[in-house]
Structures are given as structure tokens and as C-alpha cells.
């Protein structure tokens, strides 16, 4: 089987169990951003993450693939692709609590950066936030029955990625850079 089909050469793509749509359709943008987030998380994993973070992110990547499948399907319930978020959100909250318990309380805004691992995690966080915005926009279009479970998952994931970035710096003994307001 060849990787290229030439069916998308005219700027359209087929949905699972549905019609062909333009490649810039809000649905395609939504699950394309999920794919981008998954790739950025793969890049973060390649940076030798501290502790158990690699295992956590692999787990998240599997969920993102399932979310992408749901978003790529006009009728996910009909095809058995409705993704159950609740247990995964609870798991991420536990990971956030575990990592945060090892950090100093945050009292200031911080700048993205520090270790290469933290920098990759901050990029993943910003891609996650943009993905969340795109899915909110797609959800508001009325073309999806309910994406609230995906939005909650992405909101919690961005929190987890922020804490993971801080934890990566902490483990390396590097302090986060505090934002300093120019109005001082």
C-alpha cells in the first residue's frame, strides 16, 4: 500500500464515516492541532524527561490519538469512537498534585525556559492551549454534538504540562525565571 493516495490533491479530505470536506474545515483544523500537539509531545519525550514523565506523556499521546479519531468522525457514537475523558482527567489531576507537592508554591508569573526539557514542555503547553481554542471554536460552530469532555481534558493537560516544565527545572536545579513587569 502506498502512503500517497492523491485523493487530497484538490484540497479536500475524507472524514471517517462521512463526506469529503475542505482541508481548512474547522473539524480538520481541530484534529490537525491534536496531531500537532501529539508530535510536540513526542519531541518533549525525546529530550530525556525526568522521573516518570515519559510514561505519563506516552499515556497522554494514546488519549490524543483517540480524541483525534473522535473529532475526525461526524458520528463518533455510531462508530464506537466517543472518547471517555473522566478517568483520564482524574489521572492528570493526580499527576499534577504529585509533581506540585515537590515544588515551591508559585507566587509570580514565570517565563518559559530553563532546561531543554522544560522549554519543550512549555511549547507543548502553548500548542495545547491553541488546540483547546480551536476545539472550542469548532464546538461553538454547532457541527459537533458535544466536545466539552475534550475541552476539559485539554485544559487539564495544559496545566499538567506547565507543572511538568517547572518540575523539569526543579530536578535540574534551575530556577524558573520570574516575569518582571516593566512598570516597576
Cell of 81: 469512537
Give domain limits for the chain.
Answer: 36-174
pLDDT the model gives residue 5: 76
Question: Digits of tens for pLDDT over the chain (184 positions)?
Answer: 777 777 677 676 666 777 777 677 888 889 999 999 999 999 999 999 999 999 999 999 999 999 998 888 777 666 666 777 788 999 999 999 999 999 999 999 999 999 999 999 999 999 999 999 999 998 888 777 688 899 999 999 999 999 999 999 999 999 999 999 888 6
pLDDT the model gives residue 147: 84
Q: How far is CA 81 from the centre of its chain?
A: 19
CATH number of this structure's domain 36-174: 1.20.1200.10
20 SS3 class: strand
Distance between CA 24 and CA 30 in Å, rounded?
Answer: 10
Amino acid at each position: 500500500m502506498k502512503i500517497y493516495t492523491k485523493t487530497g490533491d484538490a484540497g479536500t479530505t475524507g472524514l471517517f464515516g462521512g463526506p469529503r470536506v475542505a482541508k481548512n474545515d474547522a473539524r480538520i483544523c481541530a484534529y490537525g492541532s491534536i496531531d500537532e500537539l501529539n508530535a510536540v509531545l513526542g519531541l518533549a519525550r525525546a529530550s530525556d524527561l525526568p522521573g516518570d514523565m515519559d510514561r505519563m506523556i506516552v499515556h497522554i499521546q494514546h488519549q490524543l490519538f483517540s480524541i483525534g479519531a473522535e473529532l475526525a468522525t461526524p458520528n463518533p457514537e455510531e462508530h464506537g469512537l466517543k472518547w471517555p475523558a473522566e478517568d483520564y482527567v482524574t489521572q492528570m489531576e493526580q499527576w499534577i498534585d504529585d509533581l506540585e507537592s515537590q515544588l515551591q508554591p508559585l507566587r509570580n508569573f514565570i517565563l518559559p525556559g530553563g532546561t531543554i526539557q522544560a522549554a519543550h514542555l512549555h511549547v507543548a503547553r502553548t500548542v495545547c492551549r491553541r488546540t483547546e481554542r480551536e476545539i472550542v471554536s469548532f464546538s461553538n460552530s454547532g457541527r459537533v454534538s458535544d466536545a466539552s469532555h475534550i475541552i476539559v481534558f485539554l485544559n487539564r493537560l495544559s496545566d499538567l504540562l506547565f507543572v511538568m516544565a517547572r518540575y523539569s527545572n526543579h530536578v535540574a536545579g534551575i530556577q524558573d525565571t520570574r516575569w518582571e513587569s516593566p512598570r516597576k
